[in-house]
Amino acid sequence: MLYRKSFQNSSILFLEEGDTATVVTTQRGKEFLNYLVPKGGVPLGGIVNVPIRSKIVLGVVWSNGQSSQTSYKKKKISKVLDLPILKSEVRNFLQKSSEYNLFSLNAALRLCLNPNLNLEKSYYNYFYVVGCEKIGKLTPQRKRVLDILSSKRKEQIGKSELIRKSKVSEAVIRGLEKKGHITKISVPINDNFAAIQATFSATLSKYQKKVSENLRSKVKSESYSTTMLKGVTGSGKTEVYMDAIAEAILLGRQVLVLFPEISLSTTFVERLKNRFKFGFAEWHSTISKKEKRRILKSILDGSLKIIFGARSAVFLPFDDLGLIIVDEEHDSSYKQEEGLRYHGRDMAVLKGLYSEAAVILVSATPSLETWVNVLEMKYNGEVLPERFGNATLPKVSLVDLRVNGLERNKWLSKEIIERVSWQIKKKQQSLLFLNRRGYTPVLICESCFEILTCKSCDAKLAEHKLFQALLCHLCGARYPSPKFCPSCHNESSYVPIGPGIERIEEETRSLFPDARIELLSSDHYNSLEDLKECFGRITSGEVDIIIGTQLISKGHNFPFLSFVGVLDVDLALKGGDIRAAENTFQLLRQVIGRAGRFEISGEAYIQTYFPEDPVMKALCAYDDEIFMTKQKNLRELARVPPFGRMVALIISSSVHEVAMKFAKDLTKEMFSLQKYDVEIHGPADARISKIRKKYRVRILLKAPKIVPIQSLLKNILVKTKLQRTINLTIDVDPINFY
């Protein structure tokens, strides 16, 4: 029997002892399992331990044993954990997201509760302080330890930090502890986050003020809404949405801020600190397990108000979420491409719906999906039309390579070279942008035209002088440079085709031998610290020329940067993907936006063989409206998202025939979908037909939006037997087609 009971300060539905409860666990297998309710009852949404075979696993009481899909286990729930319940809004969100993305509810619950954190545990942090035993003569090592401890009286120093700072062995610490010269103290670490202060910006411009008021009123309504916040880089989008955050805090609700590349957004953390002092936490892969446990508990009980996280944070079990911000909402890294596939932005909107929260999608170049939703009045639109203060937008010009072609094996046009030397004279920085790592993307044999490829993947090998090796950009495998061609056995016959940033560096150095040059790509830093140092050198003006990949486009302010030269985008433009034009436009706008964010006005040159391309025109004229309308019309005609739905099925196996046979059989099963107007494309070898020794076959489904393709597909998939040697990945709303 369900009955209402006061629990954790609110009234909650409870199941009585002896009732049957339907539990969803974080374990693979059946989604719903029935268990007997133990003494004391269990609340709906209660986080529990249940036995499965010989194991005890984490789960949540989902409903009162009425579900027809359950398998009955006559076993008792082992334990109701001393944690707040998972609210119905969170449970409903998880259920919906698992249905939408076609992954299991168990997997969704794993994303939510992170069972590997052992939520039940409470841990201690250990610190050292100077002990009270009288100290006589000391060895230099022991003295160093004590000096450090006494100089840092206010800070808490743990063992590893103490060892590192005083450069002693662990035995020295143990010795001091034994003598009572230092003492270990323990502090429980699941103490709550401090209360937070909310303040509003006092210096908003006229436009900003209006947008801030509109966003705040959305938050105040405490109901679901989604708003696109568009504005060029530097227009104050962050400044304004911080006001919306403050509003949610005043209401006592929680806030989730999502960033695509969170580890790179150090400036944002500083800004959060300045505004809200404390009471926020970061959530991403480099946060320690201990800290994550503390954060997760404080999210559950509602004491932690602001989470700044990567896409997976959208699944966290908030107590009362009132606002979700998706910064750089157009960024393709919101799409999880490995393991469970989902789109972080779309899940954020779904989460907002179930949490009765305001959602703000922020971008200088919104995705077409978002843009269309504003046109169709499903989302609100707010625009910040100009840069804040005196900063103006960089002027964009094209360098037409058909007119003044490049010299053989040279990649910098006369125009760009002249501009860079002018920049150096004016003590200003230049950024040369090329989205290609390494020295050259392809090596070819001059005598037999053989191209070097990876042994495990369908990919050409790129030469990296930095590593003195050839690299596969798909699987990361490294190969030594070949002494002779494996095909025609000619010696040293390999020549590079086309440039990567290392080759641009070579050319730049020969042109500007005295310039200070910094390379910026994922290969050029080993740790986040390295990268921060590199950003530091650029910010303080110790660099004249930056040569970088898209890593440079992510949210950094470089005060001396006032010129951007885009070297080659034509390849990206002709990618043949439905989003190629849109993505190139977004990336270049962002890269160009790096220039002149401060007092000096910036300029950008784009080298191209296709100056007539709509992307080029839109970039020069800052005419987003015309560009987006064109893209929209193209996609509408082709019945592709957001005007139709797509689901990709990727079948992989180490034996090509096995993958293809399974794909063909599955396709036959799916023929029944054609009566719903679903188009089936394939099966066919994927564009990249082999990755890590696995052959890949793809099937693409295109369905009208009103067709519930996910549930139709699920009905087919539950009947399919998957052999061990086959891997099936389902990608709803795919953004990659290789």
Which residues of the shown chain bind ligand ADP in the complex (CB under 6 A)?
Answer: 201, 203-205, 208, 231, 233-239, 388
Query: Toward ligand ADP, which CB reaches closer, 388 or 563?
Result: 388
In angstroms, give the least distance from the CB of 554 to ligand ADP. Answer: 12
Copy the structure tokens of residue 159: 């063992």
Question: With CB cut-offs between 5 and 8 Å by kind, which of ligand ADP, Zn ion, none does residue 236 bind?
Answer: ligand ADP
Residues 435-454 that bind Zn ion (CB under 5 A): 454
In angstroms, what is the C-alpha Rg of the chain? 29
8 Å CB contact between 496 and 442: yes
In angstroms, give the least distance from the CB of 327 to ligand ADP. Answer: 8
The number of residues making up the chain comes to 738
In angstroms, give the least distance from the CB of 196 to ligand ADP. Answer: 20
**Which secondary-structure segment (H or E) carries 335?**
strand 335-336
Question: With CB cut-offs between 5 and 8 Å by kind, which of ligand ADP, Zn ion, none does residue 234 bind?
Answer: ligand ADP
8 Å CB contact between 315 and 112: yes
Query: Toward ligand ADP, which CB reaches closer, 214 or 654?
Result: 214
Question: With CB cut-offs between 5 and 8 Å by kind, which of Zn ion, ligand ADP, none does residue 640 bind?
Answer: none
In angstroms, give the least distance from the CB of 363 to ligand ADP. Answer: 9
Using left for φ > 0, alpha for ψ between -120 and 50, and beta otherwise, residue 37 falls in: beta
Assess whether the previous peptide bond of 642 is cis (omega < 30° from 0): yes
| Residue 235, beta-bridge partner list | none
Question: With CB cut-offs between 5 and 8 Å by kind, which of ligand ADP, Zn ion, none does residue 231 bind?
Answer: ligand ADP
Residues with Cβ within 8 Å of residue 206, at least 6 apart in sequence: none
Question: With CB cut-offs between 5 and 8 Å by kind, which of ligand ADP, Zn ion, none does residue 474 bind?
Answer: Zn ion
Rounded (10°) CA dihedral 627, 629, 630, 631: 90
Residues with Cβ within 8 Å of residue 573, at least 6 apart in sequence: 580, 581, 584, 610, 613, 615
8 Å CB contact between 105 and 24: yes
8 Å CB contact between 518 and 534: yes
8 Å CB contact between 59 and 108: no
Question: With CB cut-offs between 5 and 8 Å by kind, which of Zn ion, ligand ADP, none does residue 203 bind?
Answer: ligand ADP
In angstroms, give the least distance from the CB of 365 to ligand ADP. Answer: 12
**CA nearest 381: which of 561, 49, 611, 625?**
625
The rounded distance, in Å, linking the Cα atoms of 95 and 336 is: 18
How many angstroms from the chain centroid is the CA of residue 505? Answer: 29
Query: Toward Zn ion, which CB reaches closer, 454 or 551?
Result: 454
In angstroms, give the least distance from the CB of 204 to ligand ADP. Answer: 4
**CA nearest 371: which of 635, 22, 88, 1?**
635
Specify burial of residue 645 (Cβ count, 10 A radius: 0-12, 13-18, 19+): buried
Query: Toward Zn ion, which CB reaches closer, 350 or 454?
Result: 454
Question: With CB cut-offs between 5 and 8 Å by kind, which of ligand ADP, Zn ion, none does residue 475 bind?
Answer: Zn ion
Question: With CB cut-offs between 5 and 8 Å by kind, which of ligand ADP, Zn ion, none does residue 388 bind?
Answer: ligand ADP
SS3 assignment for 561-600: EEEEEECCCHHHHCCCCCCHHHHHHHHHHHHHCCCCCCCC
Question: With CB cut-offs between 5 and 8 Å by kind, which of ligand ADP, Zn ion, none does residue 41 bind?
Answer: none
Question: With CB cut-offs between 5 and 8 Å by kind, which of ligand ADP, Zn ion, none does residue 146 bind?
Answer: none
Query: Toward ligand ADP, which CB reaches closer, 203 or 629?
Result: 203
Closest CB to ligand ADP: residue number = 236
8 Å CB contact between 242 and 270: no
Question: With CB cut-offs between 5 and 8 Å by kind, which of Zn ion, ligand ADP, none does residue 235 bind?
Answer: ligand ADP
Query: Toward ligand ADP, which CB reaches closer, 208 or 355?
Result: 208
8 Å CB contact between 639 and 706: no
Query: Toward Zn ion, which CB reaches closer, 130 or 477?
Result: 477
Near Zn ion by CB under 5 A: residue from 77, 204, 242, 472: 472
Residue linked to tokens 């596939």: 341
Q: Does 469 sit near Zn ion (CB under 5 A)?
A: no
Instruction: Report which DSSP code applies to 157.
Output: B
In angstroms, give the least distance from the CB of 469 to Zn ion. Answer: 13
Query: Toward Zn ion, which CB reaches closer, 428 or 653?
Result: 653
Query: Toward ligand ADP, which CB reaches closer, 70 or 365?
Result: 365
Assess whether the previous peptide bond of 43 is cis (omega < 30° from 0): no
Q: Which stretch binds Zn ion (CB under 5 A): 288-296, 468-476, 501-509, 510-518?
A: 468-476
Q: For Zn ion, how many residues bind (rule: CB under 5 A)?
A: 7
Q: Does 474 sit near Zn ion (CB under 5 A)?
A: yes
* Nearest-5° Cα angle at 26, 20 to 31: 55
Does residue 468 sit in helix, strand or coil?
Answer: coil
Query: Toward ligand ADP, which CB reaches closer, 302 or 559?
Result: 559
Does residue 619 sit in helix, strand or coil?
Answer: helix
Site string for Zn ion, 475-494 (x = CB under 5 A): x-x-----------------
Instruction: Report which DSSP code applies to 491.
Output: B
Near Zn ion by CB under 5 A: residue from 457, 531, 547, 649: 457
Query: Toward Zn ion, which CB reaches closer, 306 or 443?
Result: 443
Query: Toward ligand ADP, which CB reaches closer, 461 or 604?
Result: 604
Query: Toward ligand ADP, which CB reaches closer, 239 or 329?
Result: 239
The amino acid occupying position 78 is S
Question: With CB cut-offs between 5 and 8 Å by kind, which of ligand ADP, Zn ion, none does residue 607 bind?
Answer: none
Question: With CB cut-offs between 5 and 8 Å by kind, which of ligand ADP, Zn ion, none does residue 340 bind?
Answer: none
In angstroms, give the least distance from the CB of 474 to Zn ion. Answer: 5
Q: Does 688 sit near Zn ion (CB under 5 A)?
A: no
Q: Which residues bind Zn ion (CB under 5 A)?
A: 454, 456-457, 472, 474-475, 477
